[in-house]
């Protein structure tokens, strides 16, 4: 009987673990998994629009824009819209702040973060 109980106990523990893990992250915001290849500019624009509308969580948004596959797309998009778009200014500042897709430049990052807030 002890043999049966130990396997049953393990089964119950695994089942509870699966239930708990599957319920984590469920909420009103979309959770997006990391792409296996770089995102396109149109996918980035759609992601930014969803983020600005509070449809995507910060964690999902940050994970995708921080993925090394996406540095160039994020940087190129941010450069092209930085003059008029506060999200682009923030993302470009982040690129300079972390050296993502461009050489690290903290003074440029601070300048862009400040523009984004103003």
The tens place of each residue's pLDDT in the chain, 118 residues long, gives 455 556 666 666 665 555 554 444 444 445 555 555 677 888 888 888 887 787 777 777 777 777 767 788 888 888 888 888 888 888 888 889 888 888 999 889 888 888 888 7
- pLDDT at res. 50: 83
- pLDDT at res. 26: 43
How far is C-alpha 57 from the chain's CA centre?
Answer: 8
- pLDDT at res. 8: 65
What does the alpha-carbon distance between residue 88 and residue 85 come to, in Å, rounded to a whole number? 5
- pLDDT at res. 25: 45
What are the C-alpha distances in Å from 9 to residues 22, 36, 73, 108?
A: 20, 37, 49, 57
């Amino acid at each position: 009987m002890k043999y049966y109980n130990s396997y049953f106990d393990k089964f119950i523990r695994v089942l509870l673990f699966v239930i708990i893990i599957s319920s984590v992250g469920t909420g009103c915001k979309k959770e997006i998994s990391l792409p296996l290849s770089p995102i396109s500019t149109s996918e980035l624009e759609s992601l930014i629009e969803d983020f600005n509308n509070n449809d995507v969580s910060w964690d999902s948004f940050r994970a995708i824009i921080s993925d090394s596959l996406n540095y160039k797309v994020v940087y190129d998009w941010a450069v092209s819209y930085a003059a008029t778009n506060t999200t682009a200014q923030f993302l470009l500042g982040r690129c300079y702040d972390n050296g993502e897709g461009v050489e690290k430049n903290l003074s440029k990052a601070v300048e862009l973060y400040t523009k984004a807030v103003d």
